């Protein structure tokens, strides 16, 4: 949804740290139910927008935040 809005208003390049595929894997590993919406790669949602990501050097930090949030 954010990528779609980003593309609609023409903000330009999208940079992200972790992909929807990574998030789905992390949630599955944590035993968290699947999100209520389909997770799609950014290039499928906004094919005409330049995209950079994921950023491996920061992805583990985001993974740790999800572990902390979902494991309490």
Domain positions in the chain are 2-71
- When pLDDT is cut at 50, 70 and 90, the band that residue 1 belongs to is low
3-state secondary structure of 11: coil
Question: What is the tens place of the pLDDT at every residue in 11-50?
Answer: 999 999 999 889 999 999 999 998 888 888 999 999 999 9
19 three-state secondary structure:
coil
Which pLDDT score, from 0 to 100, does residue 37 have?
85
Mean pLDDT for the stretch of residues 50-59: 94
Q: What is the pLDDT of residue 62?
A: 96
At 38 the pLDDT is 85
């Amino acid at each position: 949804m954010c990528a779609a809005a980003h593309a609609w208003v023409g903000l330009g390049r999208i940079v992200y740290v972790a992909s929807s595929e990574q998030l789905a894997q992390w949630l599955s590993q944590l035993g968290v139910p699947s999100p209520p919406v389909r997770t799609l790669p950014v290039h499928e949602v906004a094919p005409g927008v330049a995209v950079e990501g994921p950023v491996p050097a920061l992805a583990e930090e985001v993974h740790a935040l999800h572990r902390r949030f979902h494991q309490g």
